[in-house]
Amino acid sequence: MDEQALLERVHTQVANLIGQGAVASYIPALARVDPNQFAFALRRIDGTEAGVGCVDNAFSIQSMSKVFSLSLALQLLGESLWERIGREPSGDPFNSLVQLEHEHGKPRNPFINAGAIAVADRLVSHCADAKQQILEFVSGLLDEPVHYDLEVAASEAAHGSRNAATAHFMRSFGKLDNPVEVVLDVYFHQCALALSCRQMARATAFLCDAGVNPLNGERVLSERQCRRVNALMLTCGTYDVAGEFAFMIGLPCKSGVGGGIIASVPKQMSLCVWSPALGPSGNSMAGTKALELFAAEAGVSVF
């Protein structure tokens, strides 16, 4: 398969969707991003790469970072991580407070905001400097330095009232061990990681290679842990439309309100698409369609 030619065809087919929708306006630093951008990158486990569009433009990866924080937490805590975090789809928006009350402060899964805040709390408890360890973890996956977009992190903190409410609510149930402001500082910074599409395809390559980073041969997760992260991406990774993603695309995916979506094709390749304008579910409109077209023509699916 000529992946480069396929990506170019997909780019042409989604051209009329690029810029449709709206950028995430509730975070002012994201509201200023040009919506008329598009990038699609892939990396095969043999090292082959392909890409179209602005694949080297760094962007705020937002909730895609939850894959990295979850993987780091699994490295450090193993199965004990699940004592406070569930593994079921929420069916509600990513920032909903409703289920937390019914379920006594235990988040449904690690990919909704409450779940990622719970993961951040575990990292604070087990790392001397959680923000630095997240940077080192992602840098290690790429074998190159990465950074936080401090403007985005500050913007998140200044407009993060719902996340603060979520964290205080969880702490009231005894589900957070550390001060809310410390946990949220880690969470806001991880969401403000700035990477390009090409970097994201490389950094998530371990997800399609049974937990081994094909860039350097180092094991990131056990094979079992890697399968579980992929399973959670498939069932919980795209907010409250994960079922639609499974139906239309058939791959484990994780999206972010910065407009990025990563996808894993086990034993074959990792994918990242980015286009900042979002649809009603908070997922990139052009990016979602591009993944659907790519998966259909390439014949890749976990089903």
pLDDT in tens, 4-46: 999 999 999 999 999 999 999 888 889 999 999 999 999 999 9
With respect to residue 303, please indicate whether it lies within any of the assigned structural domains. no
- Reply yes or no on whether 257 is catalytic: yes
CA atoms of 221 and 227, how far apart (whole Å): 9
133 with 176, same domain: the answer is: yes
- pLDDT class of 147 with cuts at 50, 70, 90: very high
Instruction: Determine the average pLDDT of the residues in 271-284.
Output: 96
> Which of 191, 212, 240 is the last residue before a domain boundary?
191
In CATH, what number is assigned to the domain containing residue 107? 3.40.710.10
20 with 67, same domain: the answer is: no
Q: Which of 60, 63, 69, 275 is catalytic?
A: 63
Instruction: Determine the average pLDDT of the residues in 92-119.
Output: 81
Task: Please give the structure tokens belonging to residue 53.
Answer: 């569009």
- Reply yes or no on whether 239 is catalytic: yes
Domain that holds residue 187: 63-191
Provide the pLDDT for residue 95: 53
Q: Which of 65, 148, 187, 300 is catalytic?
A: 187
- Reply yes or no on whether 187 is catalytic: yes
Whole-prediction pTM value?
Answer: 0.96
What is the number of structural domains in the chain?
2
Instruction: Determine the average pLDDT of the residues in 237-262.
Output: 96
